[in-house]
Amino acid sequence: MKWDSILYDTKHNFVSKYGEDVVQLLNPQKGEIILDAGCGTGDLTAIIAASGAILEGIDLSKEMIDHAKEKFPGISFTVASLTEYEKPEFYDAIFSNATLHWILDKENAIEKMFENLKYGGRLVLEMGGKGNVREIISAIAKTLKKHGFGERISNRQWYFPSIGEYASLLEAHGFTVEYAVHFSRETELKSEDGIKDWIKMFGKDFFEGMDKTTVDSLLTEIQSSLFPTRFYSNKWHADYKRLRIVATKS
């Protein structure tokens, strides 16, 4: 999927803001070599680097990496897929925020993270958990089906596991899970068309190849259907469920 890095930074920078708590969980130390897996436009990478750690950020999106390089020229950023990235036993820690739910080849991603960590190294992550944006996904599916686009519902874009599922995968690949939590986080969306803009940013594959007029009409209908539950306090909100885990390479 081609990412709009400007839209990401201007209307969806809550991704990085909420990720600052995950940086605290990482507790980076001066001199540590740390991989930011799925760094986006680099905001959290830069916060981690301020600790004195040595950072490398990777992301599959060239648009995101190009923007990160412009913002933070002193940090190493590379266009790379986590499922193919190889630096065996190189990193003291791997950090990942709001990325791993995009990787459907989940076992390969976990295997690469394990290989790239030094023994005793830690993996600190947050990702979408079971039930994440369930209302938004349901509204998209109902509207697509209503207008004869039901086949597009199978365009699976995300992987939202439970604690048990993802912790078991990590342990099966050699990690020791030391901390895991699944929690709800109602997430305020910044724009007046919060749901529409959220889908344009994160769910546009459902509408790939459609003409703009059709897409705009569908998005308006989806947003209207969510007004009773997702619009309150004069703001749109996404029904986020998050999974946060700390694991070590045993």
Query: Residue 33: inside a domain, yes or no?
Result: yes
Nearest to 216 by CA among 238, 232, 195: 195
Query: Residue 145: inside a domain, yes or no?
Result: no
pLDDT of the residue at 190: 86
Contact status, residue 206 vs residue 155, Cβ threshold 8 Å:
yes
pTM of full prediction above 0.75: yes
Taking only the tens place, the pLDDT of each residue in 26-77 is 999 999 999 999 999 999 999 999 999 999 999 999 999 999 999 999 999 9
Q: What is the DSSP letter of 159?
A: -
Query: Residue 69: inside a domain, yes or no?
Result: yes
Three-state DSSP class for residue 64: helix
Residue 20, pLDDT > 60, answer yes
Residue-number span of the structural domain to which 29 is assigned: 5-133+158-189+239-249
What region does 160 belong to: left with phi over 0, alpha with psi -120 to 50, or beta?
A: beta
Q: What is the mean pLDDT of the chain?
A: 92
Query: Residue 38: inside a domain, yes or no?
Result: yes
Query: Residue 178: inside a domain, yes or no?
Result: yes
Residue 250, pLDDT > 60, answer yes
More reliable by pLDDT, 156 or 183? 183
Query: Residue 234: inside a domain, yes or no?
Result: no
Query: Residue 151: inside a domain, yes or no?
Result: no
Percent of residues, the chain, with pLDDT higher than 70: 92
Residue 12, pLDDT > 60, answer no
CATH number at residue 74: 3.40.50.150
Taking only the tens place, the pLDDT of each residue in 191-219 is 899 999 999 989 988 999 999 999 999 99
Q: How many domains does the chain have?
A: 1
Cα separation, 1 vs 156, in Å, equals 13
Query: Residue 85: inside a domain, yes or no?
Result: yes
Residue 13, pLDDT > 90, answer no
Taking only the tens place, the pLDDT of each residue in 118-155 is 999 999 999 999 999 999 999 999 999 999 999 998 87
pLDDT of the residue at 16: 59
